[in-house]
Structure 1
Amino acid sequence: MNAALPTTSLGPKVSFTGVEDPEAHLTTFHTQMTLTGGSDVVYCKMLMSTLSGAALEWFSSLPDGHITNFDQFATLFKEQYLVNKAPARLSYDVFYVKQYHGESMKDYLNRFGIQVVRLKPADEAMIVHAFVKGMLPEPFSESLLRVYPKTFTEIRRRALTHIAAHD
Structure 2
Amino acid sequence: MCRAFPTTLKGLARVWFSRLVPNSISNFIELSMQFASYFIWGHRYKKSAMCLMSIKQWEEEMLRSYITHFNKEALSIDEADDKILVAAFTNRLWKGKFLFYLYKNDSKTISDVLYRATKFMNAEDALLAREEKPKKRDRQKDVRQGMP
Normalising TM by the smaller chain, what interval?
A: 0.5 to 0.7
Question: How big is each residue's C-alpha offset from its partner over 1:115-138, in whole Å with a ceiling of 9 and x where there is no partner?
Answer: 101223421100001101110111
Residues 1:63 and 1:121: Cα distance change in structure 2 (over 3 Å): closer
1:4-153 to structure 2, matched below 5 A, reads: 15-18=12-15, 51=17, 54-55=18-19, 58=20, 61-65=23-27, 67-68=29-30, 73-75=35-37, 77=38, 89-153=47-111
Quote the Cα distance in structure 2 between the aligned partners of 1:108 and 1:88: 22
Shift of 1:157: 0.8
Task: Tell me the percent identity.
Answer: 21
Residues 134 and 98 of structure 1: is their aligned pair in 2 closer, same or farther, counting only changes over 3 Å? same
CA contact (8 A) 1:94 1:116 kept: yes
Work out whether residues 67 and 73 of structure 1, in 8 Å CA contact, stay in contact via their aligned partners in 2: no
Structure 2 CA distance, aligned partners of 1:130 and 1:119?
A: 13
Distance 1:96 1:121, change over 3 A: farther
Bigger Cα Rg = 2
Counterpart check, 1:160 vs 2:118: yes
- Structure 2 unaligned residues grouped into runs of 5+: 2-7, 126-148
**Structure 1 unaligned regions, length at least 5:** 2-10, 23-50, 79-84
Greater shift in the superposed pair: 88-97 or 60-69: 60-69
Question: Cα distance, 1:60 vs. partner?
Answer: 6.2
Tell me which protein shows more helix as a share of its residues: 2
Task: For residue 153 of structure 1, report the CA deviation from its aligned partner.
Answer: 1.1
Paired residue type of 1:64: S
Which TM-score applies when normalising by structure 1? Answer: 0.56
Q: Which amino acid aligns with 2:23?
A: S
Q: C-alpha displacement at 1:89, in angstroms?
A: 2.6
TM-score (norm 2): 0.63
Query: d(CA) in 2 for partners of 1:89 and 1:96?
Result: 13
2:46·2:76 contact (CA, 8 Å) conserved in 1?
Answer: no
Task: Give the total of aligned pairs.
Answer: 117
